[in-house]
Amino acid sequence: MTTIGLIRHGITEWNSLGKAQGVSDIPLNLIGRKQATNIGERLSLEEQWDMIITSDLSRAFETAKIIGSKIGLPISHIDERVREINCGKIEGTTEEQRVRQWGSEWRNLELGMENFEDVSNRGIDFLKDIICTYKGKRILVVSHGALIGLTLQKLFPQKFQQTYIDNTSITILSHIDDKWDCSLYNCTRHLKLSH
């Protein structure tokens, strides 16, 4: 069995302000670093992991580094396929600004956003590679909300018509006998421990 733990990066200033981030390289804020520490501490008490793969964007990379420092693993490699959806012209804007600039139907306009299908295909390609290359391993993947959500929707269309992925949540997938299973979805138990 190959096990993949999908983790969304910790929170950033733009997350807090409700701004679309996409591929803009926004660092973690203090709360995001604390969240990454919390998930790292949680993982250090649970089952062992074999490796960490991260998106190339700094908010994911830093989250992965913090987790790695807690569980005693270096980042194995960086993979651009698990970077966030490219949000085109809407990057750096809030919903309110988008409605003001392009109207309430802004989602129907061509604003240079990456196609959802392309994003989920990237995610699926990545997973297929992982299960071939690291068969039987336990792999943590630090990525982004839209990438994780769209990949889950494509992988489990019946189970996930919609998804919401919280900062530093973990979703656990396993692959055995050519079948995927999702045993844990968007779990943020580690964040509740610190309040």
Residues annotated as catalytic are 9, 84
Using CA atoms, how far residue 1 sits from 8, 67, 174, 178, 190, in Å, is 23, 23, 7, 10, 25
- State yes or no: 8 annotated in a binding site: yes
- State yes or no: 180 annotated in a binding site: no
- State yes or no: 46 annotated in a binding site: no
User: What token pair was written down for 50?
Assistant: 């074999």
- State yes or no: 123 annotated in a binding site: no
Cα gap 84→59, rounded to integer Å: 11
Taking residue 187's Cβ as centre, other Cβ atoms within 10 Å add up to 16
- State yes or no: 106 annotated in a binding site: no
- H or E segment at 88? none
- CB 160, CB 153: distance < 8 Å: yes
Question: Any bridge partners for residue 78, and if so which?
Answer: 54
- State yes or no: 9 annotated in a binding site: yes
Taking residue 122's Cβ as centre, other Cβ atoms within 10 Å add up to 20
- State yes or no: 10 annotated in a binding site: yes
Annotated binding residues: 8-15, 59
Annotated binding residues for substrate: 8-15, 59
